[in-house]
Structure 1
């Protein structure tokens, strides 16, 4: 299969996976909120965020393992790739054991750490336990996903993700239907889905890269240290993400109220899905980018980066404009009985932070690609510290409350993605900065024009629709307008060939 056809297969699988996940998220969120309440649902996001803090200790290794294994594999050194594989798996086992010694006592005493209504204490503790168990399974199985990356068969990973989503929804609905209502079922279902995904990734590893096998002789602490010394800067980036975004629900819980934390958690469902989509689509280009870097082909690498920026921006723009124009109507149907206006404002404030991420996500991966993470990571850490300080100031000294918790981190993210992210990426690749800013300009013009045309069109449409059918029709019109504008303004000849010619002609 040639590269263009391989990309189309990977892209289609990614979009199917996104649609499945976002569809399940839309369907299951009101289902859960309607049964356990907005306050209890807020602890789902908080559990994921707090358990995610543990990834500070695993991300240094897991974030770079795929890169080291892939580079060694494409350079023909299969023995070295196997050492990276075995060492990563062994180190993750050790880290999980150590982290569990801290996590288990913390969960047992959780009600002394965060605010939990008395009737929810036991339920929330079990929720945190299953979310942590899910983290353990993910940490131990992360290296198994490298096979699809090495062979550029990312559609298989997306199939595993779809299986995860299906298992998750089936287990969750079955538990809510058979047993009394508990929010812990969300964590239990997620854990079950992750186990299935890990088994599928194990099968892919055996089939695609049979030479990658765990062996005691392949475990090397020197190799482990080589990866850690590179990936430690990704730990710094993760710390920044926690300071900037990962503490938002915790701050809302402690400084505002558990109910407002619940509203913020609901508002983050769509932006989190968009963030996942951006990372997934940008990641479709990573295997080729890594191969071109390993083979010393800078021109081909630059073309892949530009294509990734444009295509990731294409889909981000469609979702951003569609929600900006139709978001409040969507919230009123999706979360009836809740504070619709507050949730809409919180959702769009969060979405605003992802606006420039549409093109910046690709460039955020360049320092890892070229293994120059130190200065980049420290700059992001400074952003995280500034974000945390400004958020606390906003909450304590103003009346903005939950809006400050939501808006300040996004504002800091916008500034970072507009300034040092493209500058540092250009420096790493030794190219002129304006080449990346040109894509930023095209993206901004395309999205702004699409919004103006879509909003004007919405004013001309009859506003008497009631229900999902009318909303879906309006969203489809907005999406079509945005797609047309993006194809004309944002995409280049190469991207149009991939997204239009190949799909229409089915070549």
Structure 2
């Protein structure tokens, strides 16, 4: 019962975090574009992409630590957990020091690395400087928050996320309206926000560990560090491949076109991130449960959790994405302006892969718990490299024709599905010698069916009822999701899946 109570707390906090995320998604990006223009905004996604490349090493370390630290903590081995955490803090600091000369060179040559207008170079340098510093601070916060994840305290992690989102919006409005509408202030806001989050994360950490876990130099342990680093190497390889798949298009478009095109692509990509936040209301509930079950050796539970929750997460994502794709034209018109409606195909191609990516994330939680990373890491790297080469080839053939961006996104989306659902399902089935591989294939087509069903429902709605105001759009999306949900429940799910979902829904409201 205690576990159910915590799951419910996590779910409620996820919903609150979702509502905040929806507000930020609807308001923040359009506000920035209105204030600084699409060209200046085009610099912002580039700064965040640079952080993603830097995080290939650092976040790989925190991801690896999560596995070892969580297992030790769940098994009550606090001394061992302290060694893992202390060793990771030391290596993060070492990486930060190593990054310093590279960061200085990169920022001073920013106009050479990227295609940035002369009038934006100075502001861009400040933007990149603040974001890199803020990012390093966020890594320390992430290390502290691993304790919350290991204890399944997603509710406390959501408090941190809500504060981060709220500060980002409030401080940006304050600087823009009271001082100046300059892109450099976006970086300053990130820096100040991460400074506050670091302090808040420390307080959360102290509240949950109760002096059981100690971070100190004397707990630095070479075997613990080597164990984390051995896993980190493969996580790094996999994240390099991930970055080559999911975010490389912004950099390629910037180099072959301009900040305008990369700004538009960055905006529709950001919309996908907001949708992933919505899907996280459900999907983030399963990661800690899988890791806890693995730590206790309950492998039948792990297998059932993975197969069932992967399907449910994928179907939920398909409902949301299907509705958004069906209404993508009015969404673009209302969100960032009627002048950007012509780019709805870009938005569709950046969004339709999300259900498969979200479903695959559940399987990834399993093989990371097992520390089974070598195969998925190198295959992801290979797929990402091929995607990068194909993207560059399309851009070289384009002669500035934006249609080739569309072609590039089509190929990239296929690679994303191949790397996410197909690869992760293969690794999961191989790890557990899963005899019902056909079930994973059927689940894949169920996700496709729900996605198409929801898109068609949205298109039918818009055919009879025009959507040209925000209120109308919200009502339309809600109605389409409800109708598609009912139809999917009746037509696509098996009897036992229906019963399981109904039981789970009842438990959310009946547990005490």
- TM category (shorter chain) comes to over 0.9
1:318-337 aligned at under 5 Å gives the runs: 318-336=319-337
Aligned 8 A contact 1:236 1:377 in 2: yes
User: If the length of structure 2 is used for normalisation, what is the TM-score?
Assistant: 0.93
1:140 — aligned with what?
140
- Choose 299-308 or 153-162, whichever is displaced more: 299-308
Equivalent in the alignment of 2:378 = 378
Shift of 1:248: 1.4
Q: CA deviation at 1:405?
A: 4.1
Deviation at 1:305, TM superposition (A): 1.3
> Residues 233 and 25 (structure 1 numbering): CA distance in 2 closer, same or farther, change over 3 Å?
same
The RMSD of aligned alpha carbons is 2.0
Q: Distance in 1 between matches of 2:236 and 2:23?
A: 32
In the other structure, the counterpart of 1:225 is: 226
Contact 2:314 2:358 in 1 (8 A): yes
Task: Write the distance in 1 (CA, Å) between the matches of 2:5 and 2:502.
Answer: 14
Q: How does 1:63-462 map to 2 (within 5 A)?
A: 63-210=63-210, 211-278=212-279, 281-336=282-337, 338-342=339-343, 344-398=344-398, 399=401, 400-432=403-435, 433-459=437-463, 461-462=464-465
Q: How far did residue 348 of structure 1 move?
A: 0.8
Shift of 1:313: 1.9
The corresponding residue for 1:29 is 29
Deviation, structure 1 residue 275: 3.3
Q: Secondary structure at 1:145's aligned position in 2?
A: helix
- Equivalents in 2 of 1:75, 1:505: separation in Å? 30
* Aligned with residue 481 of structure 1, among 476, 480, 483: 483
C-alpha distance in structure 2 between counterparts of 1:493 and 1:442, whole Å: 17
CA distance in 2, matches of 1:153, 1:477: 33
Give the distance between the partners of 1:279 and 1:259, measured in 2 at CA: 30
Q: Tell me by how many angstroms 1:505 deviates.
A: 4.7
**Does structure 2 retain, via aligned residues, the 8 Å contact 1:307–1:495?**
no
How far apart, CA to CA, are the structure 2 residues paired with 1:294 and 1:472? 42
* CA 385–278 in structure 1, closer or farther in 2 if over 3 Å, else same: farther
Q: Equivalent residue for 2:502?
A: 496
C-alpha distance in structure 2 between counterparts of 1:262 and 1:451, whole Å = 26
**3-state SS, counterpart of residue 93 of structure 1:** helix
- Secondary structure of the 2:114 match is coil
Q: Is the 8 A contact 2:148 2:154 kept in 1?
A: yes
What is the CA distance between 1:476 and its match in structure 2? 1.6
Deviations along 1:403-422, one digit per CA (max 9) or x if unpaired, are 23433221211223343321
What is the SS of the residue equivalent to 1:158?
A: helix
Q: Is the 8 A contact 1:163 1:196 kept in 2?
A: no
Distance 1:76 1:505, change over 3 A: closer
For the residue of structure 2 that corresponds to 1:29, the secondary structure is helix
- How many residue pairs get aligned? The number is 503
Mapped partners of 1:219, 1:381: distance in 2: 32
CA separation of 1:358/1:142 partners in 2, compared to 1, >3 Å: closer, same or farther? closer
**Residues 268-302 of structure 1, C-alpha deviations (whole Å, 9 max, x = no match):** 12112233444664332122211211222111111
CA distance in 1, matches of 2:134, 2:425: 35
CA distance in 1, matches of 2:434, 2:424: 14
Q: How far did 1:19 drift?
A: 2.5
Determine the C-alpha separation between the residues in 1 that align with 2:408 and 2:190: 27
Cα shift at 1:205: 1.3
Q: Residue deviations 1:200-222, cap 9 Å, x none?
A: 22112111112112122111132
**155-164 vs 96-105, which deviates more?**
96-105
Taking structure 1 as reference, are residues 484 and 196 closer, same or farther at Cα in structure 2, changes over 3 Å only? farther
Query: Quick one: distance in 2 between partners of 1:200 and 1:484?
Result: 42
Post-superposition offset of 1:86: 0.7
Per-residue CA deviations over 1:51-71 (Å, capped at 9, x if unaligned) read 221112213311111111110
Task: Give distance in 1, aligned partners of 2:315 and 2:502.
Answer: 11
- Asked if structure 2 preserves the Cα contact closer than 8 Å seen for 1:333 and 1:467, the reply is yes
Provide the C-alpha distance between the structure 2 equivalents of 1:190 and 1:311, rounded to a whole number of angstroms: 34
**Structure 1 residues 82, 471: closer, same or farther in 2, change over 3 A?**
same
- Does structure 1 retain, via aligned residues, the 8 Å contact 2:318–2:448? no
SS at match of 1:261: helix
Partner deviation per Cα, 1:60-90 (whole Å, 9 max, x = no partner) = 3111111111101122211101100111111
Structure 2 residue runs of 5 or longer lacking an equivalent are none
Deviation at 1:492, TM superposition (A): 4.2
Of residues 355-364 and 158-167 in structure 1, the stretch that sits farther from structure 2 once superposed is 355-364
**Contact kept? 2:326, 2:456, Cα under 8 Å:** no
